[in-house]
Amino acid sequence: MPGGEARAADALAAATDSFSAVGIETPRLDAELLLAELAGTDRATLIVDRDLTLEPSVARAFSEAVRRRLRREPVAYILGSRGFRHIELLVDRRVLIPRPETEMLVELALEVGPTEVLEIGTGSGAIALAVADELPDSRVVATDVSDGALEVAIANARRLGLGERVEFRLGSLPEGSARFDLILANLPYVPDSDGLPPEVGQWEPEGALFGGPDGTDVIAEVLVGIGAAGIEAPVIGLEIGQGQGERVAAMLRASGWPETEVRLDLAGIDRVVVGRRSRPGVDA
Ligand code: GLN
């Protein structure tokens, strides 16, 4: 072919320009992430090696990835995976893409050091699998109301070799009363009227995002369900969104976790509410 193969630097510049033109927030980064993966290299090499050329098959695959991204499909769905803590998770449109701020719930698990964990609304399995990965003595029961999400989570558990310690169940809560050392949940908490970026609103599963008029309906329902089922745990950690800290903390206090704490994420937004109940007989 006259002119030889496409230069990586040119392909990146063109993709970055077209991403910018449609208003994608991180055009250069997205182009680099897509090309690095497809070219089987890393971003540093792409940036440093000005003369890097692309095999025709890579150039074609990159054009297709760029076309998908221009329709605002998230990079993680195009690549089919996303890193979370120390693990890599398969993701597709059946599950919410794991967010960095959700790692705060895994950090809570490390502080508590639980053996028996319940995760409600596991999606890709990110929280349950990261907890199992980082706490080798833990066992996790993880639920989801979406069977499509559970298929993804189960595939992730198998791939990561964590299937023996993570048990997935369809539904909001596991059947029957049970005691856990820790309950974790990243439930849908986006207020129904909130506008979302196209990557989220047009691509990610609605059922994993929206939580009623003020965003806290699903959290409230699940807390009622936990009480009604007789599920117990001394500590609970819930992911929440902007401005929901005090409201959800009050719900936790009313649901039997009298000590509450709201944790902020790196952007200073209410992100996790922790509820603790004293052990019966200790200082009841
Ligand atoms: N953090 C997600 C977002 O704002 C929402 C996740 C959720 O509702 N659990 O896009």
The predicted-structure confidence for 253-270, as pLDDT tens digits, reads as follows 999 999 999 999 999 999
Centroid of ligand 1 to alpha carbon of 98 (angstroms): 9
The predicted-structure confidence for 30-65, as pLDDT tens digits, reads as follows 999 999 999 999 999 999 998 999 999 999 999 999
Q: Residues with beta carbon inside 6 Å of ligand 1?
A: 99, 186, 188-190, 200, 209, 239
As for how many domains the chain has, the answer is: 2
Same domain, 8 and 138: no
Same domain, 91 and 62: no
Same domain, 146 and 269: yes
Ligand 1 pocket test: pick from 91, 146, 190 the residue with the most ligand atoms within 8 Å of its Cβ.
190
In a domain, 78, yes or no: no
Range 165-169 average pLDDT:
97
Same domain, 89 and 223: yes
Check pLDDT > 90 for residue 282.
no
Please tell me the pTM assigned to this model.
Answer: 0.94
Same domain, 98 and 217: yes
pLDDT at 59: 97
Mean pLDDT of the chain: 95
In the chain, % of residues over pLDDT 90: 93
pLDDT at 191: 97
Range 166-191 average pLDDT:
96
Check pLDDT > 70 for residue 240.
yes
Same domain, 165 and 207: yes
The atom number, within ligand 1, closest to the CA of 196 reads 10
Supply the CATH number for residue 253's domain: 3.40.50.150
Centroid of ligand 1 to alpha carbon of 45 (angstroms): 33
Check pLDDT > 90 for residue 177.
no
Domain residues for the domain of 51 are: 2-71
In a domain, 162, yes or no: yes
In the beta sheet, which residues pair with residue 270?
A: 264
pLDDT at 176: 84
Check pLDDT > 60 for residue 2.
no
